[in-house]
Structure 1
Amino acid sequence: MFTRLILRVIEYLAYLPLSWVRGMGVVLGWLLYLVVGSRRKVVYINLRLCFPHWTQKQVRRCAVQTFVHFAQSWLDRGWLWHAPAEVTRQRIRLTGALNELQGSEPVVLFAPHFFALDAGWTGLTQQISRRLNTIYTDQANKDSDAWILRGRARFGAPGLFGRVDGVKPIVAGLKRGEPLYLLPDMNFGPHESLWVTFYGATAATVPSLSRFARLARAKVVPVVSRITSEGYEVKVMEAWTDFPTSDLLADTALMNQRLQSYIDDMPDQYYWVHKRFKDQPDGKHPPY
């Protein structure tokens, strides 16, 4: 009941000016930073591992902004999924190599876990003519799970595949010309992952980007979404010309390397609240 109430409040935020919603996000973000000590610790550990050259002041500034952007992105889902369609279209700006999305060629969209990831998905499903698919991870809370699924299905009749659905329907969709919006940069456990470096630290990383691209003979197009004062910018980049190769490990390491360059451009918008290094090889103790 409490979750439903919170989600209903977020829906009502769709009718407020964006500046008000973002201001609420600042307050909520600071509150989360101060109160949720366990997750604050995770953010600090991640930042110190990935940016050892930063001063304590730089780490703290980025940590605070991480919580602020986390909160803002959650409150923004109210208007992303419940405001009139013209509001969503006005606030989400697609930029970059949009020509990469034309035609019917198989495309895997590499969409890293920036806080704007749902805005990227919403903007693409609303503003391009092709049907998109993505892979969905079930949420522990059933009310949140249903709410998120409805929101992500708002535009374009997309395909929302669960991890239990396997790869066959996903590859079939790619071969039909339906781009796959893929977020492979989280720790999904060691069983299907490879050990590759991420900012110099060992991280369990799923090789799904290379695997799907090879199975469907698809090109890989990065999509980096950013929170802006006007809403969101969803930047479509040029397709990678040297990806995939026959070396799954090298491909996955290259994915992380290029992801780092995207993060370096806006480190406070990346999903540092996640325990990216929780699994380690050879029984090594995780840093958390």
Structure 2
Amino acid sequence: MSASRSTKSKADIPDQSLSFLTLRHTKSSYAPRYWPSWVWLFLWRLMALLPLALSRAVGAALGLLMMVTNAKRRKIARINLEMCFPKLSLRERERLLRRHFIVSGQSYFDLAYLAWASERRILRKTHIRGLEQYQDLRGRNIILLAPHCVGMNFGGAVIARERAQFSMVKLQRNPVVNALLNRGRMRFGCFLLSRQQGLRPVIRGLKQGLAFYYLPDEDFGQRQSVFVPFFGVPTATLTTLGRLARLTNALVVPCFTRLLPGGRGYEVILKPPLEDFPNGDRTHDAARMNAVIEEGLRHMPEQYLWTFKLFKTRPGHAPSPYG
């Protein structure tokens, strides 16, 4: 199903006291040190004028260039793939690595498409599975469980058309980069909080009836984390999802966004809400979250952000595998 006409109303506008981010530029963003970034931003905007199939071809070339030139990220991804897919042969893992960098490069150019292409063009290239059951949950508090895939910004933006929604982001040091990222993320009305604002505004937003697009699958160290399996690897995993669901009586809806090959756009997959979640045991809930994410990624393993240091925190303070 293609993206539907938005059903949001004025009642969906959140309380402004939540201090959501805005797209206003500060004076510092025009400082000379950011002028090269403005040039790149202009070039990125031109990419939005190209047919998606053509920009995807350029993006694939960019991804392969990144794989060749960025030794650090290439090493991290290789270590992650070896830990998560030990049964694959070296050749199979190298093929998966190559596919990952290709879709990563394509997704970078898709940021321009999301930010500046017409709404009609974007929705024509967006296919949503499970939209009807998501719409049937109107009136319930919702947490969208979304892993860090290459299409995460695209999916979070488009789903916000269906219901008032907010997310939490890590701001970049470069304000011009923030302008590009957040323009796309906020394109269809998704409100944004900075990660530094903490969880209090998240709880308030959920209790106001806004859906929360949540990406919890990063290694934040042992504090607030437990070690549970992810692709068979003991992984420092946040327990926040279960706590948020309990405090706000929210349903957890897994949400996966898949970059489709060629110029076909994106597929957003909304799964049924998790049953019996949370169950009160934070280790059990964290393991359940990882299992749900893993099951969805097995259908598109190349699209996960394997360049993250997913396993830098090890049980028993063992050394990081990344050196």
Verify same fold: TM over 0.5. yes
Runs of 4+ residues over 3 Å off in structure 1: none
CA contact (8 A) 1:133 1:180 kept: yes
- How far did residue 97 of structure 1 move? 4.7
Pick one of 92, 98, 114 that aligns with 1:58.
92
Task: Tell me the secondary structure at the aligned position of residue 57 of structure 1.
Answer: helix
Q: Deviations over 1:42-93 (max 9, x none)?
A: 1100000000000011100110111111110110011111111111111111
5 Å matches for 1:7-156? 7-102=41-136, 103-126=138-161, 128=162, 130-156=163-189
Pick one of 212, 220, 244 that aligns with 1:188.
220
- How far did residue 155 of structure 1 move? 1.5
CA distance in structure 1 between the partners assigned to 2:56 and 2:176 by the alignment: 24
CA distance in structure 2 between the partners assigned to 1:11 and 1:134 by the alignment: 24
CA distance in structure 1 between the partners assigned to 2:69 and 2:84 by the alignment: 24
**Which amino acid is 1:257 matched to?**
A
CA distance in structure 2 between the partners assigned to 1:41 and 1:188 by the alignment: 20
- How far did residue 94 of structure 1 move? 1.3
Q: Deviations over 1:1-39 (max 9, x none)?
A: 222222221111111011111100111111111111111
CA distance in structure 1 between the partners assigned to 2:127 and 2:181 by the alignment: 22
Q: Tell me what 1:260 maps to.
A: 294
Q: Deviations over 1:119-163 (max 9, x none)?
A: 10121123x1x210111111132321232222212222x321112
Aligned residues: 285
Moved more, 92-101 or 71-80: 92-101
CA distance in structure 1 between the partners assigned to 2:146 and 2:132 by the alignment: 15
Task: Tell me the secondary structure at the aligned position of residue 253 of structure 1.
Answer: helix
CA distance in structure 1 between the partners assigned to 2:188 and 2:134 by the alignment: 20
- How far did residue 249 of structure 1 move? 1.1
Task: Tell me the secondary structure at the aligned position of residue 128 of structure 2.
Answer: strand
RMSD over aligned Cα atoms: 1.3
CA distance in structure 2 between the partners assigned to 1:184 and 1:256 by the alignment: 10
CA distance in structure 1 between the partners assigned to 2:206 and 2:283 by the alignment: 23
CA contact (8 A) 2:114 2:187 kept: no
Pick one of 213, 235, 246 that aligns with 1:214.
246
Distance 1:4 1:191, change over 3 A: farther
Moved more, 143-152 or 213-222: 143-152
- How far did residue 241 of structure 1 move? 0.9
Task: Tell me the secondary structure at the aligned position of residue 307 of structure 2.
Answer: coil
Q: Tell me what 2:16 maps to.
A: none
Moved more, 140-149 or 130-139: 140-149
CA distance in structure 1 between the partners assigned to 2:210 and 2:248 by the alignment: 11
Gaps of 5+ in 1: none
The percentage of counterpart residues that share the same residue type is 33
Task: Tell me the secondary structure at the aligned position of residue 159 of structure 1.
Answer: strand
Task: Tell me the secondary structure at the aligned position of residue 265 of structure 1.
Answer: coil
Q: Tell me what 1:240 maps to.
A: 274
Moved more, 206-215 or 97-106: 97-106
Question: What is the TM-score normalised by the length of structure 2?
Answer: 0.85
Pick one of 296, 302, 308 that aligns with 1:274.
308
CA contact (8 A) 1:93 1:123 kept: no
Q: Tell me what 1:179 maps to.
A: 211
- How far did residue 168 of structure 1 move? 2.1
Distance 1:6 1:190, change over 3 A: farther
Gaps of 5+ in 2: 1-34
